[in-house]
Structure 1
Amino acid sequence: MDTFDVMVIGGGPAGYVAAIRAAQLGFRTACVDEFTRNGKGSLGGTCLNVGCIPSKAMLDSSERFEMIQHDAAEHGIDVDGARVNLSKMLGRKAGVVDKLTGGVAYLFKKNKITSFHGLGQLVRQEGEGWVINAAGTEVLAKQVIVATGSSPRALPLAPFGGHIVENSGALEFSEVPARLGVIGAGVIGVELGSVWRRLGAQVTILEALPGFLMAADDAVSKEALKQFQKQGLEFHFSVNITDVQQDDAGVTVSYTEKDQTVTAQFDKLIVSIGRVPHTAGLGADAVGLALDERGFVKVDSHYRTNLAGIYAIGDVIGGAMLAHKAEEEGVALAEMLAGQAGHVNYDVIPWVIYTSPEIAWAGLTEKQAKEKGLTVKTGQFPFSANGRALGHGDPRGFVKVVADAQTDRLLGVHMIGPNVSELIGETVAIMEFGGSSEDLARTVHAHPTLSEVVKEAALAADKRALHM
């Protein structure tokens, strides 16, 4: 029986990053992953194969099509007869995925990580290690990292299949649906709805909650809803789905809204109501691995489970289901196993929604800060007053800074606008080091850049914005 210092079960962002970092630290490392794409094993998990990466490729392609149709003329570029070649667009998306998943396989080879394709199962404890069934081969691991990720949550009334799809199926439509329904107005639902709306679908989004993006700062969520409705996305809130039926022609959804019963017809229906921990086939019951009432693997602050030598990270332990959060846990845990001080600061993990305009935030919202009993000051600055945004042709949105009124410590930053997924990083760095809004305001930003809006928002927290 082959023996490894570290065996990782799961090859998504948490698992493959943990494996790479463990190998860098000198551990003899292996990874078993069951994800299959195009009939063969493909590392990278949901994120690289059917989630983060392919969805961003489609978002970018659809945004380019929208720009050609509606914005090019403003730049003095006349384009007639633009049309979508969906098969080519999907092929480009697949090429991006192939390059990145192939890159993970290369990194495994470079770092001498043994890779198994198939199901990874906890079998039994043996001495000071654990026997793992790695795709049919039993191996012994001194330490095991469970990183099996999550799966789309199904709606009991609308099981996946046929015209009813989850995120991966929503990236593989063979033609643009004329009428697209989306259940769930969260990150995935809004991103995928935006893709197909730009390509020509009439999109209706049904949400059970009473408001939009309720985890975001109120100012951002209100602006986002206004922008998305202006684009043609149709939203319905406080919706209760009562029946879903499908036939060869499409899907019929019945729901109640404001005490009214509504029936809607769709060609395709995306169900995006969250994700659940993926532990099927792991063997948790067989070895006594403790799960909580929602099925997440229980861990302490050092990612230790109730079983000595077994750890867990990523979506399978709950918290923010974000690839970058999972990656940081992978690095932190590998370094802890090597006796180093691995750490993840969960208070400043950035959130990003890759719509147009983009949405990003980190830290506390104004409401959350006040609920904690803090006295806050805020600063806000619009992209409409920024030269680069105007030159770019996209002056929508703003940056909002939340700081402690007593200490000036930066508590949170919230953005909606062009390229804010790239702008949020510097504010995370300031918060990571306990910096102030003054630190952000005094940092020199190149001109003309979009990042000047971040600086101006920080200046506005002390009512000294220069260009407003």
Structure 2
Amino acid sequence: MTDLTCKLLVIGGGPGGYVCASRAARLGVDTILVEGNRVGGTCLNVGCIPSKALIHTAQAFHGAQRQARGDGHGVYVSEPRLNWAEASAWRNGVVTQLCAGVTGLLERSGVKSLKGWARFRDGKTVEVTGETGTTVIRAENIVIATGSRPVELGGLALGGKVLDSTAALALEDLPKRLGVIGAGYIGLELGTAFAKLGCQVTMIEAGQTILPQFDDKLTRPVRRRLDGLGIALKLGARVTGWDDGAGDLTLETEDGRETLAFDNVLVTVGRVPQTDGLGLEELQLRQSGSLIEVDDRCQTSMRGVYAIGDVTPGLMLAHRAMAQAEVVAHVVAGIPDAWDRICVPAVCFTDPEIVSVGLLPAEVPPETKTVSTEFPFRANGRALTLDDAEGFVRIIARDKDHVILGVQATGPGVSELVSGFALGIEAGLRLEDVAATIHAHPTVSEAFQEAALKGVGMANHG
């Protein structure tokens, strides 16, 4: 058994963990990072990155099919062919390249990396079990950054024909018939991609809406696109049975019982913190259910023990974990810092994309009077030249001073606009500030300025 000591031990090499470790080490903190799998975590290896690569492949193939049908604005191609093995190899190559980049970053920063699975002995001591044996690490400060895992659905044990998002991204062959359980952002992103690749997709949701965190006006364009892609959507449907051999899924709906046959079923009903086997019971940290409670410095109820990312309350997003990581690295390095972010951008890479920053209309306190203003992409020149004018930009501002409280959008490439929306809120900008900022023409970003102009009664094209 080997013993090590350090000032900072980071458990988990995902976006939060590797950012925390690399920044702390560059600030002169003696840092060790422990990861049981490949660095990069869920997001880089089996989540955000490969799923977006899949979406890109699906869109390219779908576009080629449209051109083959003569729906390509004068561009014609022969009948397109999808080589799934080559597409998968390209996707895996992107992941490998980024993982190598993270490994290089950690090395250049001076982080000591250890592969293995960590378990707490106490608040200062962690035992790491790896291929070469057991290592005991004593650290002044410890960060829990172990991320999350998919929720399993009762009666649908993962394996065989039942997939989670990780298994779906690793399929060797495309299923002809795919059932997707859960119409949240993961299910919709993957379900839409597989439909564009030629799969017959059925979306199954126990609730009465898709993407329940957003209002109906934001999700309506996505619903229309699902219909256009031939995706069957079953709302208010509860899974009551599964026959893995036959591939039969039994549902209970408002119209009664129904059985559907699938080659594979993808379960996307949410994620939960990944803390199994970590030995948290040894620490008795304050928790909200399975989530670890933290203060504004991301410190848990035990001094010197921090938690970031998906194991803490809040949106399970990689960029939130990275922002928390920066706070912890600064605190451990002796630099005063605390969580003071006003907003965490949320992005759904559906078709069309949906983004939200700050407050949604329903989240505004009743006592706050607001101005809500929208600009449609059908009046935006760039969106029309992209033949993708579905959607709009919406700004919610405080009525008394026009300070921006929230921005939402759905439409072509709006994921690339969301950082500008967040900057506007973090900087405390007013409608007048955005309206007076020159936005390049022709770009879809002009819709942000036009919405602001409309809000102050000076719309150029509204």
Q: TM-score range by the shorter chain?
A: over 0.9
Residues 280-429 of structure 1 mapped to structure 2, 5 A cutoff? 280-285=276-281, 287-290=282-285, 292=287, 294-345=289-340, 347-369=342-364, 371-429=365-423
Q: Secondary structure at the match of 1:232?
A: coil
| Counterpart residue number, 1:69 | 65
Residue-pair matches, total: 455
Deviation at 1:343, TM superposition (A): 3.8
Q: Secondary structure at the match of 1:156?
A: coil
Q: Secondary structure at the match of 1:447?
A: coil
Query: Is contact 1:364-1:411 (8 Å) kept?
Result: yes
Q: TM-score, normalised by structure 1?
A: 0.94
Task: Work out whether 1:254 is the aligned partner of 2:254.
Answer: no
Write the letter of the residue equivalent to 1:82: P
Task: Work out whether 1:83 is the aligned partner of 2:81.
Answer: yes
Structure 1: gaps of 5 or more residues: 36-41
Judge which range, 12-21 or 231-240, deviates more: 231-240
Deviation at 1:426, TM superposition (A): 0.8
Write the letter of the residue equivalent to 1:2: L
Residues 7-18 of structure 1 mapped to structure 2, 5 A cutoff? 7-18=9-20
| Counterpart residue number, 1:38 | none
Q: 2:56 aligns with which of 56, 60, 63?
A: 60
Distance 1:271 1:17 in 2: 30
Query: Is contact 1:366-1:376 (8 Å) kept?
Result: no
Query: Is contact 1:54-1:93 (8 Å) kept?
Result: yes
Judge which range, 306-315 or 219-228, deviates more: 219-228
Deviations 1:43-72 (A, max 9, x none): 001000000000000000110111111157
Write the letter of the residue equivalent to 1:455: Q
Q: Relative to structure 1, is the Cα distance of residues 326 and 437 closer, same or farther in structure 2, using a 3 angstrom cutoff?
A: same
| Counterpart residue number, 2:233 | 235
Q: CA RMSD in A?
A: 1.6
Deviation at 1:22, TM superposition (A): 0.7
Q: Secondary structure at the match of 1:394?
A: coil
Q: 2:31 aligns with which of 16, 29, 32?
A: 29
Judge which range, 178-187 or 432-441, deviates more: 432-441
Residues 114-153 of structure 1 mapped to structure 2, 5 A cutoff? 114-124=112-122, 129-133=124-128, 135=130, 136-153=134-151
Q: Relative to structure 1, is the Cα distance of residues 440 and 343 closer, same or farther in structure 2, using a 3 angstrom cutoff?
A: farther
Deviation at 1:2, TM superposition (A): 2.3
Q: Secondary structure at the match of 2:401?
A: coil
Deviation at 1:372, TM superposition (A): 3.5
Write the letter of the residue equivalent to 1:143: N
Task: Work out whether 1:441 is the aligned partner of 2:426.
Answer: no
**Which structure 1 residue ranges, 4+ long, deviate > 6 Å from structure 2?**
none
Write the letter of the residue equivalent to 2:290: G
Q: TM-score, normalised by structure 2?
A: 0.95
Query: Is contact 1:345-1:432 (8 Å) kept?
Result: no
Query: Is contact 2:286-2:300 (8 Å) kept?
Result: no
Write the letter of the residue equivalent to 2:199: A
Deviation at 1:131, TM superposition (A): 4.2
Distance 2:453 2:244 in 1: 55
Distance 1:429 1:415 in 2: 15
Residues 157-196 of structure 1 mapped to structure 2, 5 A cutoff? 157-196=155-194
Deviation at 1:259, TM superposition (A): 4.4
Deviations 1:170-214 (A, max 9, x none): 112222211110110001000000110000011111111221222
Q: 1:267 aligns with which of 255, 263, 266?
A: 263
Deviation at 1:272, TM superposition (A): 0.4
Structure 2: gaps of 5 or more residues: none
